[in-house]
Amino acid sequence: MNWITKIIKAGEKIKTAVRERVTARDLAESPWTSCSCMSGPMLKKDLKANLFVCPSCQKHHRISPKDRFSILFSNNYEIIKTPIPKDDVLGFSDTKSYKDRLKSARKNTGLDCSMVVATGALNKINITAIASEFGFLGASVASAEGEAFLAATQHAIENNNPLVVFTAGGGMRMQEGMISLSQMPRTTLAINELKKNKIPYIVILTDPTAGGITASYAMLGDLHLAEPGATVAFAGKRVIEGTVKEALPIGFQTSEYLRDKGQVDLVVERKDIAKTLETLLSILLKKNTSTIIENEDNESSKLTIQTQQAS
């Protein structure tokens, strides 16, 4: 490589870096956003007012834990601080050090780890809830997230609260190797403690839920709800197709497909999740309440559920 080639390559690198930085900053600061349905630009505040659901195609966009809890608890909730173990005990580095990746994720999201725990009430039923931030290293699960899950479980048991988890994430975090994989049995054991204490554990699958998350706490609920169109998988579609050498069915690994195959109990739109949880928890906890589930397509199919307080 002569000196001219070196200069040209360095120039290209600088141009690419500047272009990427400007684009990311512009996107973050712009009041406009768009949807994959290509229905045209829309104001971020309008998307937020519609609970981050596209008004054209009904796509449920990914949302932060803060927005998730605000929607679920009508802005009235409390964040529970969870322990943060020592960073990067393996000293992992690939194209960038894991420490730097964590630092950058924390700066971009304002969170210490990808999993956030909160408590609030739904129709006077106190619950403990977990939500994950996909923007924090793809909401992958490592030691800090495992600690957050265990803290949530402990809080639920101590307060006799149902535990509701909104799952999201690509799986276990490779930068923490076996430490990360060990969060699968840890979260499973924590859920067993909930069951021993007869505390309801409800999972709401959101886009995307994959890998070790699907292979552990995302599939151990007493009930499994899912947001419409969410990708819920263990291995990726392309990996499976490459292995079995067959084309997979249309809609494979979506909430609706899993509901039709019996792996998901209900697909619920974001605007209806709080009300649906209230109804389900009233039944599970045998609260003295009367609830009406309305089918929008058929007024005559209203279902009234009346339960008595357990003696």
Residues that bind Zn ion (CB under 5 A): 35, 37, 54, 56-57, 59
**Distance of alpha carbon 178 from alpha carbon 173, whole angstroms:** 9
> CB count, 10 Å around CB of 274?
17
Q: Nearest approach, Cβ of 41 to Zn ion (angstroms)?
A: 12
For residues 125-146, one letter each, b for 16 or more C-beta atoms within 10 angstroms of the residue's C-beta and e for the rest, the string is: bebbbbbbbbebbbbbbbbbbb
Closest by CA position to 241, among listed 251, 230, 232, 249 = 249
Measured from the CB atom, the residue of 56 and 197 that comes closer to Zn ion is 56
CA torsion 166-159-212-235 (nearest 10°) is -30
Closest by CA position to 77, among listed 18, 121, 109 = 121
Measured from the CB atom, the residue of 37 and 303 that comes closer to Zn ion is 37
Measured from the CB atom, the residue of 47 and 190 that comes closer to Zn ion is 47
Q: Nearest approach, Cβ of 267 to Zn ion (angstroms)?
A: 18
Q: Nearest approach, Cβ of 30 to Zn ion (angstroms)?
A: 18
Give the pair of three-digit tokens for residue 183: 């969060």
Closest by CA position to 280, among listed 144, 166, 139, 122 = 122
**Distance of alpha carbon 67 from alpha carbon 116, whole angstroms:** 12
Q: Nearest approach, Cβ of 34 to Zn ion (angstroms)?
A: 8
Give the pair of three-digit tokens for residue 110: 């304002």
Q: Nearest approach, Cβ of 55 to Zn ion (angstroms)?
A: 8
Q: Nearest approach, Cβ of 208 to Zn ion (angstroms)?
A: 17
Q: Strand, helix or coil at 97?
A: strand
304 in Cβ contact with 292 (< 8 Å): yes
> CB count, 10 Å around CB of 45?
10
Measured from the CB atom, the residue of 59 and 287 that comes closer to Zn ion is 59
**Distance of alpha carbon 196 from alpha carbon 205, whole angstroms:** 23
Measured from the CB atom, the residue of 36 and 300 that comes closer to Zn ion is 36
Measured from the CB atom, the residue of 1 and 38 that comes closer to Zn ion is 38
Q: Nearest approach, Cβ of 40 to Zn ion (angstroms)?
A: 10
**Distance of alpha carbon 265 from alpha carbon 166, whole angstroms:** 15
Measured from the CB atom, the residue of 37 and 189 that comes closer to Zn ion is 37
